[in-house]
Amino acid sequence: MQRQLFLILLLALSLGAGVVAQSTIETPTGQRTLAATMNIHVFPADGQPPEQQSRDEAACYTWAVNNTGVDPFDLSHQAQQESQQADQARQEAQQAGAGSGATGTVVGAAGGALIGQIVSSDPGRGAAWGAGAGLIGGRRARRQAQAQATQQVERQAGQQQRATKEQITGFKNSFAVCLEGKGYMVRF
């Protein structure tokens, strides 16, 4: 009987301790922390209250901006502008070499007429052959110009994206170092 009473008492105490432990945990307010908006996970390893964590994150954000010269929110806005510029440059690249087919046709016709006059004294036939060859050559030149322009735009956009990613990583490292110094566990 004493053993059963002891087990019941032990069970009641353990359940009570769980309730007490749960009541001391702060419930989320539904607001994202500064770190969470940057996809950085922060855990208060020393039991810091949410208000303290918010102050520490703000202080570390300022420190990391000053340390790296990078503000991720400004960088995000800049990246959006660069993306829009890259899209516009892609559209312009599709226009590269516009008119090459018509120019090739005219130049080919003129050259063909000249050759036709010299070779067979039939400038009309030579002009027709020359125009066809010029049209084909002009279209090929247009496709090559478009491909080169598109490759250049993609190369520049890729370089900008890599540079932005490196800057953000540098900022996150500085932010994390600061928070870890204040007793938080940080992952990103």
The pTM score is: 0.56
The tens digit of pLDDT for each residue in 44-76 reads: 999 999 999 999 999 999 999 999 999 998 988
In total, the chain counts a number of residues equal to 188
For residue 108, which amino acid is it?
G
Q: How far apart, in whole angstroms, are the C-alpha atoms of residue 188 and residue 168? A: 11
The tens digit of pLDDT for each residue in 134-157 reads: 667 767 777 887 788 788 878 888
Greatest Cα pair distance, the chain, in angstroms, is: 127
End-to-end CA distance of the chain, in Å?
55
- pLDDT > 50? residue 22: no
The pLDDT assigned to 11 comes to 43
Most confident range, picked from 3-7, 8-12, 150-154 = 150-154
H or E element that contains 43: strand 41-44
Does residue 187 sit in helix, strand or coil? strand
pLDDT band at 23 (very low <50, low <70, confident <90, very high): very low
The pLDDT assigned to 108 comes to 59
Compute the CA torsion angle 99, 104, 106, 112 (nearest 10 deg). -170
Q: At what angle do helices 72-94 and 123-181 cross, to 10 degrees?
A: 170
- pLDDT > 60? residue 21: no
Classify 30 in phi/psi space as left (phi over 0), alpha (psi -120 to 50) or beta. left
Residue 64 CA, chain-centre distance (Å), reads: 21
The tens digit of pLDDT for each residue in 24-45 reads: 333 355 678 999 999 999 999 9
Closest CA to 131 of 148, 116, 111, 151: 111
- pLDDT > 60? residue 109: no
Does residue 78 sit in helix, strand or coil? helix
Asked whether 75 and 167 are in contact (CB, 8 A), the reply is yes
Does residue 186 sit in helix, strand or coil? strand
